[in-house]
Amino acid sequence: MLPKRTFFVFALASFIAFLSFSVAAVGQSWSGVLAPSRAADWQDYAGIPGYSSKGALPSDNWPQSGSTISACGSSGSPVTAESCGIADALAKANGKSKYVLLGPGTFYLSDGLCLHGYNNVELRGSGTAGSNLTKLVFSGAATCQGGNGSALIGFQSADTTYPAANLAAVCTATDGFSQGSSSLTIGSGCNQSITAGSTAVILDQCDTGYSGSPCSGSAKDNGNYFVCGDKYDPSGTGCSENGPDSGLARPERFQAEWHIVSSCNPSCGKGGASTLTLAEPILHPNYSSGQTPQVYLVQLSQYLGVRNMVIDGGATNSTSGISFYNTAYPWVKNVAILNPYSIGVYLTQDVHGDVESTYCYNAGQNSTASDPSCYNHTGAFHVIANNICQQVRVCTIGNGTEIGSVIGYNFGVDAYTGDSFMFGNLEDCHSDGCDFNLYESNVMYQAVQDQVHGTHLSQTWHRNFFTGWESCSNGQCGTDPSIFNSSAADVLSYNRYGNWTANVLGTPGIHTLYQDLAGPSAFVNNTIWLIGSGNGGVSPPIAGDPIVAATTMRWGNYDVANNAVLECTATKTPISACTADERAESASVYQALASPSTNFPPSYYYSSRPSWYSSSTPFPAIGPDVSNGNVGLVAGTLNASGHQSGNAAIVGASYAGDTVNTAWAGHVNAIPAMNCYLSVMKGLPDGTGSALTFDASACYGSGATSTPAAAPAAPTGATSVVVH
């Protein structure tokens, strides 16, 4: 572990980007489709300002610091990161807007790196041809995440404030906490100085039914915008299976927004009342003085990154492969993360993170780790885009308070679990306070909005492709290969005020029912929508919630059960599958638009193709207005060993003699990450097999191909090896 150092030296380019970022939003591509009270200004605020929306990073033009570090250690004799020279090189580059370069070859390291208080530094592997030239194989990890976990490579600020602990600097928010406000007035008591541009202010309030400090009360459903984390009680309180939640927020205060302070009036001094100008507007529409809004401060590290390398954690029990804790503008790009014990990339209490163009394999290592995932994020305004997840239960998950983030263009394959649930590729959140995030153009088996740890509100889903099923033919479903929980979209009880637009849902031959509407607590299989349902009989059995369907906007989505694009404005319009108006314009509060447009923009985030998006791939790739899609269905008998039948793949390919036929009415093209996996990495449509070689430039540069190569016959099981 390195000694603490605190440097706040910022690159000129980053400073200019920050200034331009603080300008108020002037309009969003979703205007006319979504109601402003239910959406966020993702185009203006998500990701690293001035970079993420273009597929660029602050370090793109940074110079190298010092000499290139040669590969070190061996498989039988690993060495420390310090003896290899990596630790010292990073210390010398700290604060200078430079990168430390690791040479080609394999680095065998006996410990991990946890870098405290670093700023403006990047650890980079060799070559511009992707991430497969420099490999780091770890046999040990470093304690990181404020002492709450371990990492192979971790960054955290010198301020290790953890919200569950006793905070010495809490003060009352007295004014300016309405939705859209960027001017927040706080009372005295925040006994830390604020540094404009690097201090985060966290605004929270008591959950619905609670007030005071500490919060006291009861989580009684208000029938509309219900913020809750308490355990469900059939007598009429609570909402969750495992509440109340704890950890990454204060007790009963999980509606928490992370913002960067850009200026203060009268000053950014210590302890006095002040009006803070926030770099991002407040998103939640329900802050109220009656729920005792408060703020606390965290001093952030900034501009930290990892790119162009392979990281293997198969010999460790590290919490995460790469982690960032209490940081602003962190990034991971062109990295292959193999066999992390629990989590691939962990963004913990971070703001404006960017995880782009990576490959994550076998996160969780078939272990009993809680919620194994490739990308686990808490904080605000992240962009997690163009990534590949193979052989992991959950590709991306918000595992604490999370607002204003974009999870898009990610491809997940083989979401094995080995338990009674087959899959759940994209889980929006696993905590209350995870609201106003955008999930766009992802290709995965299933979207899950659960109620295990509380409510999720005002989430938006645009142009995703969720098949609702995965093959169990080649050993990836563990001991329970039955088709269970086979819905495309699980929007369970207390997940209210969401927006679902222009998505493509279901698998032909599997999904014959349109929806299960707030029925009994037992799930109904083979439905496109499981909406408003309880928790499948898990104790305590949570009842169905009809308010979910009434407040959820479902508009312009194509599903295979109806083989139609639905725009339901009343019962039986346009077809009999419409059982009610699905516009949600009659919700009791925060109504959706009464006349939403059917002219959907390609993206709610990107105004044009980012640099990693191939010109040969249609933009948009998915949606009801796409008719020439190249993604079809592998023919043959479902769940036949050695075959890929029933999986989505690129039309024209052949797997073990089974061809890929046109399906989904041509509404789906392979997004860049899916094309990378199938066409360049030669992955199998069911995701089985060993880790593959990942070369980001071959996938997303001029050498990318849009035609799949002939694939080998499927293996009979999955293995886990280091990429060579």
Q: What is the pLDDT of residue 6?
A: 32
Helix H, strand E, coil C: the string for 491-539 is: ECCCEECCEEECCEECCCCCCCEEEEECCCCCCCCCEEEEECCCCCCCC
Q: State the DSSP string of 91-107.
A: HHHTTSSEEEEEPSEEE
399-415: pLDDT as tens digits: 889 999 999 999 999 98
626-657: pLDDT as tens digits: 999 999 999 998 888 899 999 999 999 999 99
pLDDT bin (cut points 50, 70, 90) of residue 130 is low
**Using CA atoms, how far apart are residues 378 and 376, in angstroms rounded to an integer?**
7
Lowest mean pLDDT among 127-136, 293-302, 388-397, 554-563: 127-136
Q: What is the pLDDT of residue 4?
A: 32
Q: What is the pLDDT of residue 597?
A: 97
CB atoms near residue 279 (< 10 Å): 25
Q: How far is CA 632 from CA 468, 601, 617, 646, in A?
A: 15, 24, 16, 9
Q: What is the pLDDT of residue 714?
A: 31
Q: What is the pLDDT of residue 270?
A: 74
201-228: pLDDT as tens digits: 999 999 999 999 999 999 999 999 999 9
Q: What is the pLDDT of residue 419?
A: 52
Is the confidence at residue 16, as pLDDT, over 60? no
Alpha helices (runs of H) in 73-161, residue ranges in sequence order: 86-93
Q: How far is CA 255 from CA 245, 327, 429, 629, in A?
A: 12, 20, 13, 40
Lowest mean pLDDT among 340-344, 485-489, 711-715: 711-715
The two structure tokens encoding residue 533: 């349902």
Is the confidence at residue 283, as pLDDT, over 50? yes
Contact (CB, 8 A) for 409 and 440: yes
Q: What is the pLDDT of residue 711?
A: 35
The two structure tokens encoding residue 326: 């209490």
Name the residue with higher pLDDT: 479 or 709. Answer: 479
Lowest mean pLDDT among 192-201, 430-439, 546-555, 711-720: 711-720
Q: What is the pLDDT of residue 709?
A: 33
CB atoms near residue 43 (< 10 Å): 21
Name the residue with higher pLDDT: 720 or 368. Answer: 368
Lowest mean pLDDT among 68-82, 110-124, 161-175, 186-200: 161-175
Q: What is the pLDDT of residue 452?
A: 87
Domains of the chain, by residue range, sit at 1-30+94-159+301-332, 170-299, 631-700
Is the confidence at residue 667, as pLDDT, over 50? yes
Mean of pLDDT over the chain: 87
Is the confidence at residue 17, as pLDDT, over 60? no
Name the residue with higher pLDDT: 526 or 384. Answer: 384
Is the confidence at residue 169, as pLDDT, over 70? yes
Lowest mean pLDDT among 130-134, 566-570, 651-655: 130-134
Is the confidence at residue 8, as pLDDT, over 50? no
The two structure tokens encoding residue 282: 């407040």
Q: What is the pLDDT of residue 166?
A: 56
305-355: pLDDT as tens digits: 999 999 999 989 888 999 999 999 999 999 999 999 999 999 999 999 999
Q: Mean pLDDT, to the nearest integer, of 253-260? A: 95
Residue 606 has, within 13 A of its CA and on its CB side, a CA count of 27
